[in-house]
Amino acid sequence: MQFSYEVKDSYAEVKGVGRLNMVAAPKLREVVAEVVAGGSSRVVVNLAETDFMDSSGLGALIGCLKAARQAGGDLRISGVQPQVKMVLELTNMDRVLTAYPSAEAAFGND
């Protein structure tokens, strides 16, 4: 899985392309830690090109959410695809990880 990020005016967007499984999960944690350490604690993880997530990928997202909140910000997700949506719903984590249609919309009203 490939990650990239871009720091925008009011948030940072992290994009993941591929499968967010146990192989990719530690990489996501590293990328978000780097973004937060760089001063951007409002983070959107854009999952539009993430076609698969397992429970370790979900665990990494939760860890990243906690890291962003500890730094005074938040972490939101966007562009959620059907398999990822299913995993979020079956684990009841759709209530914790709020999904937005696009990265722009995630912090649009704050």
Partner 1 sequence: MTEVLARRGYHGPATEEAIEALHEEMEALWGDASFVPDVDRMTFATAVIEAAGNIVQHAVPAADKPVEIDVDISVRPDRLVARVSAQNAREPFANDMRAELPDEEAESGRGLALIEALVTTVTFERQDGTNTWILTRESTPAQTD
21 sits near partner 1 (criterion: CB under 8 A):
yes
43 sits near partner 1 (criterion: CB under 8 A):
no
Q: Is the dihedral of CA 17, 20, 24, 28 positive or negative?
A: positive
Which of the ranges 3-11, 40-48, 60-68, 70-78 carries the binding residues for partner 1, by CB under 8 A?
60-68
In the complex with partner 1, the residue whose CB is nearer, 6 or 56, is 56
Q: What is the DSSP string of 41-98?
A: -EEEEE-TTEEEE-HHHHHHHHHHHHHHHHTT-EEEEES--HHHHHHHHHTTGGGTS-
CB atoms within 10 A of CB 84: 23
Residue window 65-94: x/- pattern of binding to partner 1, with contact defined by CB under 8 A:
-x---------------xx--xx--xxxx-
In the complex with partner 1, the residue whose CB is nearer, 96 or 105, is 96
Q: Which parts of this chain interact with partner 1 (CB under 8 A)?
A: 19, 21-23, 52, 54-56, 58-60, 62-63, 66, 82-83, 86-87, 90-93, 95-96
